Amino acid sequence: MRLLLIEDETSLLDLIQRNLARAGFTVDAVDTADLARSALSTSRYDAVILDLGLPDEDGLVVLREMRSRRDTTPVLILTARDDVEDRVTGLNSGADDYLLKPFAIPELVARLKALLRRPSGALGVVLEAGNIRFDTAGREVTVDGKPLALTAREMTLLENLLRRSGRVIPKRHLEERVYGFDDDVTPNSLEVLLHRLRRKLAGGGFSGEIHTVRGVGYMLADTAA
């Protein structure tokens, strides 16, 4: 899952970005409203974490702009504004959730996952295909009940393939979900990652395969089905 984090406090931005990456998210981080607009116009996100006290503009302006163009991406407001009126204003402006600073990172992660599990969200808790099972909450992958060790990026790639199992996923879509815009990505980065993931899945006894559809993308299929 790819998130956009909009936060102007550098130390907090770094802390959140690191911990969300450990939780299995791909995170793009920006610290101004203008950079947020640029990111939203060029990339698709599964959720947005929005600070209101941005240096160039109130974060609510960014939120209202999103909703005015019918962008339904879930938005979690992260702010020190603790008045009831502020919370009501944020929710009425289109926010999906509201978390006050200071906060605990586990609560932030839990709230994000709860947002993405909603009917219109992108996140299911447990993903399965053939004999593989991916617990996205615990970040654990098993094949026939046996743990399979994967890197964080390999897990992110597998998660995206499992979410659209049996369907071809364009290469560009996978690149956007696996890599953030600050990552050093070469033209064959995804292919190298796929090669490693295929090798580990085969070694673990996965009953399916990741197929390459030339010129289009990739598809995970359970060949035993």
Stretch 125-154: mean pLDDT: 88
- Assign 4 a pLDDT band (cuts: 50, 70, 90): very high
Task: Give 224's DSSP letter.
Answer: T
Is 35 a member of any domain?
yes
40 lies in which domain range? 2-116
Say which residue, 137 or 16, is predicted with more confidence.
16
- Say which CATH number the domain at 15 has: 3.40.50.2300
pLDDT single digits (tens) 145-163:
999 999 989 998 998 899 8
Q: Structurally, how many domains does the chain consist of?
A: 2
Higher pLDDT, 181 or 205: 205
pLDDT of residue 123: 53
Looking at the structure, tell me whether residues 86 and 7 fall in a common domain. yes
Task: Please tell me the predicted confidence (pLDDT) of residue 139.
Answer: 82
* Residue at which a domain ends, from 116, 145, 166: 116
DSSP state of 30: E
Of 168, 156, 162, give the one whose Cα is nearest residue 214: 168
Asked whether 20 and 28 are in contact (CB, 8 A), the reply is no
| 17: in domain | yes
Q: Do 32 and 79 sit in the same domain of this protein? A: yes
- pTM (predicted TM-score): 0.67
Residue 93 lies in a domain: yes
Half-sphere exposure of 191 (CA within 13 A, CB side): 7
- What average pLDDT does this structure show over 82-86? 83
Euclidean distance between CA atoms 50 and 57, whole angstroms: 12
